[in-house]
Structure 1
Amino acid sequence: MQDLKHVSMLAVSLALCAVSGTGYAQEAKAGGGAAPVTESEQQQDDASSSRVDALSGEITVTARKFEEKAQAIPLAISAFSGKALEARGLDNINGVATFTPNMTFQSNPSFGGASSSAAIYIRGIGQKEFLPTTEPGVGVYVDGVYVARSVGAMLDLVDVDRVEVLRGPQGTLFGRNTIGGALSLTTKKPSNRREISGQITVGRYDRIDAKIMANIPLADTLALRVSGASMMRDGYVQRVVDNKDLGNVNTKTGRLQLRWDAAPNLEINLSVDGTEERNNGPALTLKGVDLRSAIFNPANLPMLPPGSPPTAGSYVINPPFDAPVDNFALLNNYVATFLGGQNCLGFAPYRPTGPAAACYDDRYASATKDFGTAPQYSRNRIWGASGNIDLDLGAVQLKSITAYRRLDGKFSRDGDHSPILVSQFYDELTDKQFSQELQLLGRGMGGSLKYVAGLYYFSETGNNVNILDFTPVYFQSGGKFSTKSYAAFGQATYSFGDVFDITAGLRYTKDDKSFLPDQTIFTDRTPGQQLINGSPNTPKTRILPFVQVNRSESDVTPMVNLAWHVTADSLVYASFSQGFKSGGFVQRVFPPLAATPEFAAEKATAYEAGFKTQLLDRKLTINGAVFLTKYDNLQVQVFTGVAPVTKNAAAAEIKGAELEVRLSPGGGWFVEGSAGYLDPRYTSIDPAATEITRASRFERISKWTLSASLLKSVKIGDGELTGRVDWSYRAGQFMDALNTREIFQPGYSLVNASIAYDFPGRNLSLVAGATNLTDERYLDSGIYGTSFRSYETLYARPREWYVTMKWKI
């Protein structure tokens, strides 16, 4: 009821704001000014006349910084308007991967517990690690502002103008850590039209989502846009100890934008946004426990108690010298047997008595329940402010994008999913980023040449505290980090008439990073200490020296693109591009080391050929591409000792192909489909990376990604009834670089369906639908640590129904 009260207050407040500004807005409009409606906004308004139009209409994008039609630029880009996203039933940005070939977008809490940590991969390149000393492989941008951290990157789609997915390295214009591609989200700007809209969604698991927007012209040249949303949904995994539901949603987000046409040639946009997430934590469960050890009974022979004579074909236990310190699950059972008064190793005739809860094994495995007792939650507060200035000087246009963002996150979880202490994690993350970008855009040579040049500055500081409680040790990891990045870039396109285009670009990037590890052992429970001394040793020693380490890297990333416009509606192109992702520091370390480990930058070089065409009077659109990517110095997460660490483990080659088709034959029909094929292969392995081989498969990458959708609209009086069915398929994928079979996800299909009725005038709509209609049980993420030996699984949400009412005035 308290949450409903908050939603109601939000709706009433925005409505009152809109009404109070109506009279002034009407006076301003009568005065003959106000902020103009942009081309993109006009497309959105036109698209609202039909759901088919929303999906099949042309989309204007800024993938090359100029406003261009997506179909007219020689890039592999999937673009979705806000109306098209609504028509597809998407409420979170991760849903675009369903319709985008060769893209993976998963929720991945990793060894932390952040519910909104994103793992994004495009064309086989990405990163699942959330630690701030490791960079993502796909750049996420909101209104042109780079979002540095993967925590909080599961963006909700509230008042969105469009989403652009650029596939392949975008090392020239986007630059920062876009080695796999870029995901760019653009929100709707304030306009000179008074508008209030909102929607309420209810559904399974007590879902209640509310979104509202008010666009308020304030003066001839000034407009305000306010949007807010509250998303609430119960989880689908029960935490037994306190009956909390894991995997729940409790998010509130809002945005305020001000648009000022300060002069006929000067536009200023200011924006402030904030998001608060307070969840019970991700719906991770235990699939099983690996009780193997290379130290203790490696041949899995019949065991004999300590002191038994050597016996052929049997293993005589020899504590504490054979303590399985390479397997915390088995180590717990080892200690419980010899210090806890019970037999957790299962050998005869040694039969002590004791509480059964001291033994850790598959008894805690469950697909729907979690038996953990450590604190479990995920709390994030994110806010940002930005200012965009556009100055049109006729021959050239100047743009400035200034932004500040802050993230404060706390998340904790029980990694062993049991009442026993095997692996428990706590993270506290503070991150502050500032960025400034200047762009100069112009045209020359009678319109044959268009160019963009720019400068970019990025600064990030923060602190990440990891408290880790394991069977043998209780310690703190993490530390303070900082990054300063500088870049200069330029790109130009010269057109030979209306037939040939050549585009060339270059970017220079320099990254300076530092890391101050603050890592201390609080309690050492090594079995030798306990078995010999009878109590844990608490040396309070440093794991890494308390000394700041620094690294500096720079790179030049070029791009060349040739395009042939075969007809007004068809083009073919070929391109060469490079991407660069900076290196970093190994933050998770155990046992102690004398120096902080580092890893170097990775680089991708891509060769691509593609085509775009529209046939049948532009009713049929077919786009396709083939590519080859040379991927060097891969940053792969593997295990060294206790910790999952990042290493430059390999070089690889990625071959692939993509196809996207849309057909709008008329009569209210719309059909679309996509296909992606990937064949990534390691070409060399670093000798130190013994965990992978050339035969290993890339993590979180499916060889095939397929999708198909069918929509049909029928006029009923002055209203319209629309039915839609979506199908998608993903081939099997491993969830880690080790190719752990127990967390392998076989190929699976998903079906979503909805039916919508738009009332006459289209100011009121009702939508009823279902997601995961066949109740497919599939992994969104999987976790396995070679020290913890717990197979953890995060299954996606089961079948859910929903009903949405949308309105606007």
Structure 2
Amino acid sequence: MDMTKRFEASDGMMVAAAALVALATLGAAPAVGQEAPPPSQDASRADLLGQQDIVVTARKREERAQETPIAISAFSGDSLAARGLDKVDGIATFTPNLSFQNNPSFGGASSSAAIYIRGIGQKEFLPTTEPGVGVYVDGVYVARSVGALLDLVDIERVEVLRGPQGTLFGRNTIGGALSLTTTRPENRLAASAQVTAGRYDRIDARAMLNVPLGDTLSARLSVGTFNRDGYVTRVADGKDLGNVNTKTARLQLRWEASPDFEVNLALDGTDDRSHGPALTLSGIDYRSAVFNPQGLPMLPPGSPATPGHYVIDPPFDAPVDNFALLNNYIATFLGGQPCLGFAPYSPQGSAAACYGGQYLSRREDFGTAPQYSRNKLWGASGTIEWTIGAAKLKSITAYRRLDGSFARDGDHSPLTITHFYDSLTDKQFSQELQLTGATADNNLKYLVGGYYFSEKGNNINILDFTPVNFQSGGRFTTKSYAAFGQLTYTFAERVDLTAGVRYTKDDKSFLPDQTIFIDRTPGEQLIGGSPNTPKTRVLPYEKVSRGEDDVTPMINLAWRATDRAMLYASYSKGFKSGGFVQRVFPPLAATPQYDAEKATAFELGFKSEWLDRRLTLNGAVFLTKYDDLQVQVFTGVAPVTKNAARAEIRGAELEARLSPGGGFFIEASAGYLDPAYKKIDPAATEITLASKFERISKWTLSASLLKSISLGDGSELTPRVDWSYRSGFFMDALNTAELYQDGYHIVNASIAYDFAGRAFSLIGGVTNLTNSRYTQTGIYGSSFRQYEQLFARSREWYVTAKWKL
């Protein structure tokens, strides 16, 4: 492959990053052996000023982030707290080429993560579709996107690994991995607490207690509760949508039996209950290919054919392709309501039975169907680390369970047009073994391992639409097996060659449990009949199975030009397993399936530290070849997943941290993405070569500035400003223009006062300081014909009090 041609000079951002790669090898870096003076501040303050090393486990061994030759953004828990973050999705505002949104989609879960890294991800929450970015907590894979909008309680660090992680992380990390590490128990007494109050009656509280239980045993308990009113009012019952009501807890035990043997046990749980997401109705599409497709002035039924006019012909022109218009059609001809104007053409009316503009609002919801989101999650894990001579054996055993139920009124009106209900139960078990070590005078580092994952559950969807009431969903099972290995060999002192490979085998099954309860197709009703209730199957009640396997290699070459500058090049592959189309209507004779998607990535990058480690500058350019893209499109009523296309993604990233002295600290990042479809599957008629990737911005920019001011009495004042920018993007693969989000800026500001001794702190801050109005998620169904938007919260203030022992 001619890599010179792949990275054309026309991509200005990539050229700039390549120039910085060359610059990083020049004499700006400190000389070999030169070390920065150790920070005099405590660890948390040093971290905020960019003077604290962050140790990561991106390659399944502890090493400095700056010495890890992959594209990784790592953040300590202290730095995340300083930004005022309480949920993990907030890291997207300052991580290049990361999109992390709460996406209720056609379900109603208030916590459903849609994560994209370098243009690859997945917004679908159904368990028969896999995420494109793997989420891990203490090395344990979190399989479902529902509940993956994790609370940041007692977190040691967060690592964002960009690009396919198919060798060491494996399962469904085709876009990258998001790894959270909690703070382990320590053999000392420690405690902390914090309370936050703010706008919308916000009251958040967190507490931690670390207790030694003996010379080798210690325990740590972390709890949190998050409460905030919503910002969209449901008129029918006065409930506030978008509210927060979450409780979470984690108990850990650590047994350090000897310097060579350690056991960590953890039990965690989260109870998340809310009134549902703050989605509102922003528009209605009355177009139909069946009824008056040209929008002509209409004449009543039985009128003579008239040029330039449309003569209504019930029931044969019932707009079954548009549920919004179908409601008004039925109300007009069965209910005698003036929902369709004859001349000129008007597809809506103001009567109670008509679906129209009276239900459009940004701050109110007029729905009357049940609306709520309830998720209970808990998990248990055990990690054993045993050093045997020069090798270390690590075992991670984990069990997780999710019980969720959520419902919402998708038409946002008192009418029955699109109502959704979901019940989701998911149980997962995983076992991983890792053997790491070094030999040949530490010049050869190795890692071998095996992985087993089992998941089963049931997802039932009750769907009540204008023409039909039916049940979708069914039971699902997954078993995944993997074996992996990686070697890193150091030669010529400063050059490391790393090679790894993983074999993965996935076996899946799905038992559809899908039945039509009520068929309200208007034909029979309009000629004097009544709704029939056939209770027929949408899909055969037969288990379907699929199996697939793949080999995902990785090669990485790293050159440490100096002690503070490194260049690397890598080649890696990843794959995301296929699945079953769970949403189906009208009925089919067999359950549709789709195949795995695959990615091959080429990357050039550098990491450097300048000015006695006061300046950190990292960057990368990459090309990803993306095959058998799984895209959500519409075929009939339901949004379905298809292997729709082949694509290429070109991009670049740059991250900088500067501690110039005087208490100042500056951070900045830039991400550039240029994804393009190269071939479209003939079955994916909704997508063209000119279509844009959904939820992907070409530019993601951020910058932060803080100033630490030491006062005479030993106390400290720290003002901080964070800015981020995300260029425009479409919300769906259809590139629905009405849901396009223009580029927007977010500014957050805070000021912290640490009392002498730093045991007590007060922080005041404002989020979304400029009151930017932007959409977090948008929904459009080609049969539902409603434009729904979830707007972000407006400007909010908060005050936090912290105490630590």
Q: 1:345 deviation in Å? A: 1.1
Q: Is residue 786 from structure 1 mapped to residue 755 from structure 2 by the alignment?
A: no
1:87 and 2:82 correspond = yes
Of 89, 98, 105 in structure 1, the residue corresponding to residue 93 of structure 2 is 98
Asked if 1:481 is matched to 2:492, the reply is no
- RMSD, aligned α-carbons: 1.6
Corresponding position of 1:799: 795
Indicate yes or no: 2:766 matched with 1:770.
yes
State the match for 1:109 in structure 2: 104
SS across alignment from 1:331: helix
Q: Is the 8 A contact 1:526 1:536 kept in 2?
A: yes
Distance 1:251 1:721 in 2: 31
State the distance in 2 between where 1:396 and 1:284 align: 53
Which ranges of 4 or more aligned residues in structure 1 deviate by more than 3 Å?
42-46, 49-53, 348-351
Partner of 1:739: 735
Letter in 1 for 2:326: L
Counterpart of 1:748 in structure 2 is 744
Match among 717, 720, 733 for residue 721 of structure 1: 717
Equivalent-residue separation in structure 2 for 1:673 and 1:348 (angstroms): 58
Identify the residue that residue 283 of structure 2 maps to in structure 1.
288
In 1, distance between residues paired with 2:141 and 2:47?
32
1:112-151 matches, cutoff 5 A: 112-151=107-146
Is the 1:476–1:521 Cα contact (8 Å) retained in structure 2?
yes
Q: Describe the superposition over 1:320-342 as per-residue Cα deviations: whole angstroms up to 9, x where unpaired.
A: 11110000000000000000111
Q: Is the 8 A contact 1:52 1:664 kept in 2?
A: no
- Residue 46 of structure 1 deviates from its aligned partner by 3.7
Counterpart check, 1:637 vs 2:632: yes
Q: Which residue of 2 aligns with 1:646?
A: 641
2:544 matches 1:549: yes
Q: Taking structure 1 as reference, are residues 43 and 114 closer, same or farther at Cα in structure 2, changes over 3 Å only?
A: farther
1:194 equivalenced with 2:184 (yes/no): no
Structure 2 counterpart of 1:303: 298
Deviation at 1:43, TM superposition (A): 11
**What's the CA shift for 1:261?**
1.2
Choose from 450, 457, 465 the match for 1:462: 457
Instruction: Tell me the amino acid that sits aligned with residue 516 of structure 1.
Output: L
Shift of 1:533: 4.0
Give a deviation string over 1:314-361, Cα, whole Å, max 9, x none.
00000011110000000000000000111211115999x998111101
CA distance in structure 1 between the aligned counterparts of 2:745 and 2:517, rounded to whole angstroms: 47
Distance 1:345 1:45 in 2: 72
Q: CA deviation at 1:47?
A: 1.7
Return the match for 1:164 from 136, 148, 159: 159
Say if 1:44 and 1:81, in contact at 8 Å, map to a contact too: no
- 1:66 is paired with a residue whose SS is coil
CA 1:770–1:586 in structure 2 vs 1: closer, same or farther (change >3 Å)?
A: same
Distance in 1 between residues matched to 2:309 and 2:40, nearest whole Å: 74
What corresponds to 1:627 in structure 2? 622
Alpha-carbon separation, structure 2, partners of 1:94 and 1:632:
27
**Farther off after superposition, 256-265 or 458-467:** 256-265
In 1, the alpha carbon distance for the partners of 2:303 and 2:734 equals 38
Aligned residue among 237, 241, 245 for 2:240: 245
Matched, 1:262 2:267: no
Match of 1:385 among 369, 380, 396: 380
Measure the CA separation in 1 of the matches of 2:344 and 2:728. Answer: 45
Residues 280, 788 of structure 2: 8 Å contact kept: yes
The higher-RCO structure (CA 8 Å, 6+ apart) is: 2
- How far off its partner does 1:51 sit? 6.1
Are residue 700 (structure 1) and residue 691 (structure 2) matched? no
Residue of structure 1 in register with 2:17 after alignment: none
Separation in structure 1 between the aligned mates of residue 649 and residue 349 of structure 2, nearest angstrom? 55
Structure 2 Cα separation of the partners of residues 707 and 389 of structure 1: 39
**Residue 719 of structure 1 contacts residue 762 of structure 1 at CA under 8 Å; is this kept in 2?**
yes
Against the structure 1 CA distance between its residues 349 and 738, is the aligned structure 2 distance closer, same or farther, given a 3 Å change threshold? closer
Conserved? CA contact 1:52–1:669, under 8 Å: no
Is structure 2 residue 73 aligned with structure 1 residue 78? yes
**Equivalent residue number for residue 681 of structure 2:** 686
One-letter identity of the residue aligned with 2:142: V
C-alpha separation in 1, matches of 2:220 and 2:136: 20
Alignment correspondent of 2:30: none
Aligned partner letter, 1:674: S
- Quote the Cα distance in structure 2 between the aligned partners of 1:479 and 1:419: 29
Letter in 2 for 1:553: E
Contact 2:39/2:46 (<8 A) preserved: no
What one-letter code is carried by the residue in structure 1 that aligns with 2:194? Q
1:409 aligns with 2:401: no
In structure 1, give the amino acid aligned to 2:453.
F
Q: Within the alignment, does 1:335 sit opposite 2:330 as a pair? A: yes
Q: Residues 10-25 of structure 1 correspond to what in structure 2 (within 5 A)?
A: none
Q: Distance in 1 between matches of 2:536 and 2:597?
A: 34
Residue 560 of structure 1 pairs with residue 555 of structure 2: yes
Q: Is the 8 A contact 2:560 2:566 kept in 1?
A: yes
Q: Give 2:353's match in structure 1, choosing from 325, 336, 358.
A: 358
Note the C-alpha offset of 1:362: 1.7
State the Cα distance separating 1:56 from its structure 2 match: 3.7
Give structure 1 stretches of 5+ with no counterpart. Answer: 1-41
Q: Is the 8 A contact 1:711 1:725 kept in 2?
A: yes
Give SS of 2:62's match.
strand
Residues in 2 aligned to 1:51 and 1:161: alpha-carbon distance in whole angstroms: 12
State how far apart, in whole Å, the 1-side matches of 2:99 and 2:124 are.
14
Give 3-state SS (helix, strand or coil) of 2:504's partner. strand
Once the two structures are superposed, residues 36-84 of structure 1 have per-residue CA deviations (whole angstroms, 9 ceiling, x without a partner) of: xxxxxx999942245634x441100000011000001110000001111
TM-score between both structures, scaled by the size of structure 1: 0.94
Conserved in 2, the CA contact under 8 Å of 1:52 and 1:668? no
Q: Hey, what's the Cα distance between the residues in 2 that align with 1:201 and 1:360?
A: 42
2:44 alignment counterpart:
48
Distance 1:233 1:51 in 2: 30
Distance 1:354 1:564 in 2: 69
Deviation at 1:102, TM superposition (A): 0.3
In structure 1, the residue corresponding to 2:66 is in which secondary structure?
A: helix
Q: How does 1:311-710 map to 2 (within 5 A)?
A: 311-348=306-343, 356-710=351-705
**Residue 102 and residue 349 in structure 1: after superposition, are their counterparts in 2 closer, same or farther (change >3 A)?**
closer
Alignment check: 8 A CA contact 1:305 1:350 kept: no
Q: Percent identity?
A: 73
In the alignment, is the contact (CA less than 8 A) between 2:184 and 2:254 conserved in 1?
A: yes
Is the alpha carbon distance of 1:349 and 1:101 closer, same or farther for their aligned partners in structure 2, counting shifts above 3 Å? closer
Deviations 1:287-323 (A, max 9, x none): 0100010111111111001000011110000001111
Structure 2's unaligned 5+ residue stretches are 1-37
Q: How far apart are residue 714 of structure 1 and its match?
A: 0.5
Alpha-carbon displacement from aligned partner over 1:496-539 (angstroms, at most 9, x marks no partner): 14310000000000000000000000000001121124310110
Distance 1:201 1:504, change over 3 A: same
Aligned amino acid, residue 702 of structure 1: S
Contact map agreement 1:52 1:713 (CA 8 A) in 2: no
Aligned-partner Cα distance in 1 for 2:723–2:551 = 41
**Distance in 2 (alpha carbons) for counterparts of 1:222 and 1:585:** 47
Question: Counterparts of 2:683 and 2:338 in 1: how far apart (Å)?
Answer: 38
8 A contact 1:396–1:443 mirrored in 2:
yes
Contact 1:47 1:83 in 2 (8 A): no
Q: Is the 8 A contact 2:39 2:51 kept in 1?
A: no
- Say how many residue pairs are matched: 767
Q: Residues 160-239 of structure 1: matches in 2 within 5 Å?
A: 160-239=155-234
* Residues 13-42 of structure 1 deviation map (CA, whole Å, 9 limit, x = unaligned): xxxxxxxxxxxxxxxxxxxxxxxxxxxxx9
Give the whole-Å Cα distance in 2 for the aligned partners of 1:45 and 1:387: 35
Deviation string 1:68-124 (CA, Å, 9 cap, x unpaired) is: 000011100000011111122211100111110000000000100000000000000
- 1:308 partner letter: S
1:416-458 residue CA offsets vs partner (Å, 9 max, x unmatched): 0001111000000000000000000010111001111000000
Give the conservation status (yes or no) of the 8 Å contact 1:342–1:355.
no
**Cα distance in structure 1, aligned partners of 2:611 and 2:423:** 56
CA deviations over 1:177-231 (Å, ceiling 9, x no partner): 0000000000000001200101000000000000000000000100000000000
